[in-house]
Amino acid sequence: MDSRVFLSLFLFLFFLLYFPNVSHSFLLRGWLADDKKTEESRLKLKSETRSSSVFDPTKVTQLSWHPRAFLFKGFLSDEECDHFITLAKDKMEKSMVADNASGKSVESEVRTSSGMFLNKQQDDIVSNVEDRLAAWTFLPIENGEAMQILHYEHGQKYEPHFDYFSDPVNQQMGGHRYATVLMYLSNVVKGGETVFPDSEAQLNQPKDDSLSDCAKEGYAVKPRKGDALLFFGLHLNTTTDPRSLHGSCPVIEGEKWSATKWIHVKDYDNPIIVSQDCIDEHVNCTHWAAKGECRNNPIYMVGSKTSKGYCRKSCAVC
Ligand SMILES: *[C@@H]1O[C@H](CO)[C@@H](O)[C@H](O)[C@H]1NC(C)=O
Ligand SMILES: *[C@@H]1O[C@H](CO)[C@@H](O)[C@H](O)[C@H]1NC(C)=O
Ligand SMILES: *[C@@H]1O[C@H](CO)[C@@H](O)[C@H](O)[C@H]1NC(C)=O
């Protein structure tokens, strides 16, 4: 076996072990479409020509496994943080929340910050950060929403909530939010911690006076300029993880700036809207069904309780 083939296989197996369900939907389709084409790794970033997009794994620590949460120290440079704040500063509006049933944006006392959305690939600095986020999370750029910049002044907060949506409207765009990366753009003198009230890790965290009272109610991450917090709202099997409940504690002294990247299960830029009719959504459904994929890869092929599969006709489930 030559070394490229070996490396491709190794990366593929590693990815499969790490994100079994995600890799099914992203990889297996392409993989099965052409059984002989094994020389090429499927892990390449689309934007490989734009930047080197490698990350140093020694800068990342696991904070908690239930929910899955990781901290990347110094993910952003000071200049990148300042740049994001400059882009956002004069465009801030009161933050909204999604209504549980309708999915519409509504004002709420639960969330008192102000915020705005950047555009994807708005400039070279934004693009470069988006590339690095994809490299770190192993999740494709097209699955991400545009970054949201948030500003919390004295007393402002976001009470514990989930990032996945309860309403069906928001889930049409790329499915559930799978992962969230919170990037801290400023230091906060006191308060403003990200808190996970149901994290298993809260029992091991010393509750010293550097934490606000709100932060002591769970596992807390202190905002530090440049650090990035990655956590997953879904389990590995893509069901929602209620332990991903998290909030932003009130700022007690100073102010807090942060940037959020939400990453979905599927393509967010060009979502496939699955129709209600009994049809196949991909030209190779018949081929895959004949190879046993309805049984081996049911979430993509047939679907689950919350989302319809892409090959329901060939799998004879409608
Ligand atoms: C369908 O499968 C064939 C061969 O198995 C492959 O060449 C083709 O690219 C696939 N089509 C799509 C749209 O993926
Ligand atoms: C929305 O749903 C969440 C979780 O199911 C619940 O905690 C919250 O109270 C609901 N909010 C409203 C306004 O109904
Ligand atoms: C998905 O995984 C979670 C966590 O491991 C587990 O509690 C849950 O029962 C699983 N659900 C299904 C449908 O497999």
Task: Give the pLDDT score at 117.
Answer: 96
Q: Could you tell me if residue 67 is inside a domain?
A: yes
Which residue, 211, 177, 207, is CA-closest to 194?
211
Q: Residue 316 corresponds to which amino acid?
A: A
- Ligand 3 in reach of 62 Cβ (< 6 A): no
Which residue, 205, 232, 294, 221, is CA-closest to 258?
221
Rg (CA), the chain: 21
Do 248 and 281 fall within a single domain?
no
**What is d(CA 245, CA 41) in angstroms, rounded to the nearest whole number?**
35
Do 239 and 278 fall within a single domain?
no
Ligand 1 atom 8: residue of nearest CA: 33
Can you give the CATH number for the domain in which 225 is found? 2.60.120.620
Do 117 and 239 fall within a single domain?
yes
Q: Could you tell me if residue 257 is inside a domain?
A: yes
Point out which residues pair with 191 in neighbouring strands: 251
Distance 235 CA to ligand 3 centre (A): 7
pLDDT digits (tens, 9 = 90+) for 72-118: 999 999 999 999 999 999 999 999 998 888 888 899 989 999 999 99
Number of domains composing the chain? 2
Listed in sequence order, the residues at least 6 apart from 246 whose beta carbon sits closer than 8 Å to its beta carbon are 160, 161, 163, 194, 195, 196, 197, 231
Task: Give the pLDDT score at 28.
Answer: 40
Do 318 and 223 fall within a single domain?
no
Within 45-187, strands assigned E span 60-65, 68-72, 93-94, 97-98, 105-106, 114-117, 148-152, 158-161, 177-184
Do 77 and 202 fall within a single domain?
yes
Listed in sequence order, the residues at least 6 apart from 154 whose beta carbon sits closer than 8 Å to its beta carbon are 251, 252, 253, 255
Do 110 and 222 fall within a single domain?
yes
Task: Give the pLDDT score at 103.
Answer: 84
Do 119 and 252 fall within a single domain?
yes
pLDDT digits (tens, 9 = 90+) for 219-259: 999 999 999 999 999 999 889 999 999 999 999 999 999 99
- Asked if residue 213 has pLDDT above 70, the reply is yes
Average pLDDT value for the chain: 86
Do 189 and 68 fall within a single domain?
yes
**Residue numbers of the domain that contains 283:** 274-318
Do 193 and 229 meet the contact criterion of CB atoms below 8 Å apart? Answer: no
Do 294 and 163 fall within a single domain?
no
Task: Give the pLDDT score at 25.
Answer: 43
pTM, to two decimals: 0.71
Q: Which residue has the higher pLDDT, 171 or 47?
A: 171
| DSSP H helices in the chain | 3-18, 20-23, 29-33, 78-88, 124-137, 168-171, 285-290, 293-296, 298-301
Q: How many CB atoms lie within 10 A of CB 266?
A: 21
- Asked if residue 212 has pLDDT above 70, the reply is yes
Distance 51 CA to ligand 1 centre (A): 30
Distance 238 CA to ligand 3 centre (A): 8
Do 292 and 254 fall within a single domain?
no
Residues in contact with ligand 1 (CB, 6 Å cut-off): 33-34, 283-284
